[in-house]
Amino acid sequence: MTAHDSAPPTRTLGAIFRPQSPPEDLRAAVQAAEQAGLDEVWLWEDCFLESGIAAASAALAWTDRLVIGIGLLPVPLRNVAVTAMEIATLERLFPGRVRIALGHGVQDWMAQAGVRPESPLSLMREYFTALRGLLAGRTVTVSGDYVRLSDVALGWPPTPAPRLLMGASGPRSLRLCGELADGVVLAGDVSPAAVVAARTVLAEGRVAAARLGEPEIVVYLPALADSGVQAVADDVRRSIDVGATTVVLEPSANEPDIASYFRFAAQAFARVPR
């Protein structure tokens, strides 16, 4: 059992600033999101568009209460010690306002960058375990197939250590997520049936690792601004009813006005009972 196992998930609602939008649009967008009353804005570290950590740091500095999620940080692309340093810095600068999710990365992109692993699951297990230890303030030594550290410890670990999420879709990744992570980020097929199925596999992983409590379930829900506020609100409600603890609206890649989209998202969420 970890210290995080007993912490109940909190229901939150947000929207995504996709990296297809230029970085210079981020400031107006997150400020519009905060003014409209959104709980969270999520960022993607898609190759080869925008840095999740750099964008998150700016977004946090430009707002006062908005929570910024980063989902996903592709682990093959990032040294685990550097990732730990960056997360710790964000947590200490903006306590409680950062949510971090790690993922395998799109394998074709990882191949382009020369970091595609033979076993993404083995890499994730080694990486996640080392990262958790570093953020908890421990000195970590590990010699794995992918992660190698010798007496590494953060000088400024965050207190408390942050909860860590994992992006997963297939059953093996979902089971590993249940075993290691505090929650999952679901993208792609986010139908109510898919959320229920994912929860079942997550539970298997948590039982195998003797973890208590319920994991966070973050659902990326594609929604166009012209879909209508009530239709989107109904989709959000259905996701919540089957166990989503965070629903994040996903605009199209060519959304012309992301600040207006965030205001639309807030209007839709206003129709969803908390």
Is residue 180, in this structure, part of any structural domain at all?
yes
Is residue 30, in this structure, part of any structural domain at all?
yes
Is residue 7, in this structure, part of any structural domain at all?
no
Is residue 56, in this structure, part of any structural domain at all?
yes
Distance CA 138, CA 135 (A): 7
Per-residue pLDDT tens for 6-23? 454 568 999 999 999 999
Is residue 29, in this structure, part of any structural domain at all?
yes
Within 8 A by CB and 6+ apart from 92, the residues are 156, 158
Note down the domain range covering 219: 12-269
Is residue 253, in this structure, part of any structural domain at all?
yes
Q: If DSSP codes are grouped into helix, strand and coil, which group holds residue 219?
A: strand
Is residue 4, in this structure, part of any structural domain at all?
no
Q: Which amino acid is at 145?
A: D
Q: What is the CATH number of the domain that holds 53?
A: 3.20.20.30
The 10 Å Cβ neighbour count of residue 15 is 30
Task: Give how many domains the chain has, as a whole number.
Answer: 1
Is residue 106, in this structure, part of any structural domain at all?
yes
pLDDT tens-place values along the chain, 274 residues long:
444 554 545 689 999 999 999 999 999 999 999 999 999 999 999 999 999 999 999 999 999 999 999 999 999 999 999 999 999 999 999 999 999 999 999 999 999 999 999 999 999 999 999 999 999 999 999 999 999 999 999 999 999 999 999 999 999 999 999 999 999 999 887 899 999 999 999 999 999 999 988 899 999 999 998 889 999 999 999 999 999 999 999 999 999 999 999 999 999 999 997 7
Strand partners, 152: 140
Provide long-range contacts, Cβ within 8 A and 24+ apart, for 144-147.
145/119, 146/117, 146/122, 147/80, 147/123
DSSP 213: S
